[in-house]
Amino acid sequence: MIRKLGLTAGTIAIAGFAAFFSASAAAQSAKPASLEDQLKAQFKPVKLGSRGQTVLDPGTVLTIQQGGLVGISPWLIVVCPSSYRAGKMHSPNAICLMATRNVTHDLTKGEKVYVENINVDQKKDKIEFEVVECDSCNGNRSAYKSKIAFEFSKGQLKGADLAEVTGVIVEVFSVDPPADSTQVAQNTPGQPSKVAGGPEATDQAAPQSVLATEASAAPAKPIQVGQTLEEVQANTGWKLDLTADLGSTQIYRYNGRTIKFKDGKVTDIQ
């Protein structure tokens, strides 16, 4: 009897340890996503074929908002990275540019690029974006690659959230809407059809045209913390550009400024 009780107690103890370690493992696997993983979900990297010449999945297409990035031939391993800190773009190292001058060209404002990779280095307080030209978006000019390091103040990345970091990134890159978003917007119920030529469509479109004209003619009013999205849109003539949608937080660009909204109200202006 004593032996049986001992075996039973031992079995219970082993089962208890197993349950404890299983719970610990589950807790570890459920830890929050890293900043790098969150960025890769927000700025989805492109998927290329085995030779890097075929786009299998474009991921997130970005539009360059500032000059200063240098593209280099995709056949070379070396890249001349630019850096961005304190709101200013800094060109790549002059020696690197000199060594690769025959196989580089500037990536200009308005040009579109794919995200190739994102690397977060918290020890060096920087986030690196590797991008490659979207050749089909830019008229099949080329598919040169480039790299930029977003540099932050010491220790800033350790406590930074996705919205804070994205607010800096969108000063250089804006996010293109999905390819079908324009079509969806045009086919939204209640909106006049551009194809229909009936009186009803004309009557509905006319007030919107008048409002847009009046808004563009009115002078822009100051943007202040606490204003709602509707107030800011009205004050700026409906010219805000959405660069990132993070659920309850949205980030817009207007006249070179970054405006962050939280739950529909302005929380930060840079």
| pLDDT of amino acid 227 | 87
Please check whether residue 114 is in contact with residue 140, taking contact to mean a CB–CB distance below 8 angstroms: no
SS3 254: strand
Do 39 and 162 belong together in one domain? yes
Please give the tally of structural domains in the chain: 2
- Domain hosting 258: range is 196-269
Do 62 and 136 belong together in one domain? yes
Do 212 and 100 belong together in one domain? no
Do 91 and 157 belong together in one domain? yes
Do 128 and 67 belong together in one domain? yes
Please check whether residue 167 is in contact with residue 246, taking contact to mean a CB–CB distance below 8 angstroms: no
Do 124 and 227 belong together in one domain? no
Do 63 and 99 belong together in one domain? yes
Ordered DSSP codes for 10-60: HHHHHHHHHHHHHHHHHHHHTSPPPHHHHHHHHSPPPEE-TTS-SEEE---
Ordered DSSP codes for 76-134: -S----EEEETTEEEPPPHHHHHHTGGGEEEEPTT-EEEEEEEEEETTTTEEEEEEEE-
Do 118 and 249 belong together in one domain? no
Do 132 and 248 belong together in one domain? no
Q: What is the pLDDT along the chain (270 residues), one digit of tens a residue?
A: 555 545 455 555 455 545 554 555 554 556 778 999 999 999 999 998 766 668 889 999 999 999 999 999 888 888 999 999 999 999 999 999 999 888 899 999 999 999 999 999 999 999 999 999 998 888 766 789 999 999 999 999 988 889 989 999 999 999 877 655 443 334 333 444 444 444 444 444 445 444 445 545 555 678 888 888 888 888 787 778 777 777 778 888 787 778 888 888 888 887
Q: Which tokens belong to 40?
A: 């890769």
| pLDDT of amino acid 243 | 73
Do 169 and 59 belong together in one domain? yes
Q: Which tokens belong to 215?
A: 């808004």
Do 40 and 137 belong together in one domain? yes
Closest CA to 96 of 115, 77, 124, 74: 77
With 0-12 CB in 10 A as exposed, 13-18 as middle and 19+ as buried, what is 10? exposed
Instruction: For residue 66, give the DSSP letter.
Output: S
| pLDDT of amino acid 187 | 37
Do 166 and 258 belong together in one domain? no
| pLDDT of amino acid 229 | 85
